[in-house]
Amino acid sequence: GAGVSQSPSNKVTEKGKDVELRCDPISGHTALYWYRQSLGQGLEFLIYFQGNSAPDKSGLPSDRFSAERTGGSVSTLTIQRTQQEDSAVYLCASSLGLASGGVGFTDTQYFGPGTRLTVL
């Protein structure tokens, strides 16, 4: 079946502009995650959605970053007034989520190809 898709694959923007990154999770996956990978850095968690709610936004680096999810499916990560330090690959992952719950169950995350953001 179709995996996680992200768009655009590449985005070049000028400092100070706003950008929107889109993630389409695997059909039926209720959990969705955003991560970021900067040059020379590891993957860092940004935000987690269960359904349309975001119980954990602890990884968002500043209030310029926000995300929403509608219809329990597509998610958009918005970065306002972009800065050069926002340049990174933004990765989305999805998993079955709490709907798959049970004793001893695991919830494997599957990643999309990422969006490479370059802020000039």
Partner 1 sequence: DAKTTQPTSMDCAEGRAANLPCNHSTISGNEYVYWYRQIHSQGPQYIIHGLKNNETNEMASLIITEDRKSSTLILPHATLRDTAVYYCIVRAFTGANSKLTFGKGITLSVRP
Binding segment toward partner 1, per CB under 8 A, in 16-24, 65-73, 78-86, 109-117: 109-117
* Residue with token string 């330090």: 85
The DSSP code for 81 is S
The structure tokens listed for 57 are 């936004």
- Amino acid letter, residue 9: S
Query: Which member of 23, 112, 117, 119 binds partner 1 (CB under 8 A)?
Result: 112
> Are 116 and 11 contacting, i.e. CB atoms less than 8 angstroms apart?
yes
70 scored as a contact of partner 1 (CB under 8 A): no
1 scored as a contact of partner 1 (CB under 8 A): no
Residue 63, phi then psi, degrees to nearest 5: -75, 0
> Cβ 112 to partner 1, closest distance in Å?
5
First to last CA, the chain: 37
111 scored as a contact of partner 1 (CB under 8 A): yes
2 scored as a contact of partner 1 (CB under 8 A): no
Contact residues for partner 1, defined by CB under 8 A: 4, 31, 33, 35, 42-45, 48, 55-56, 59, 91, 93, 95, 98, 101, 104-114
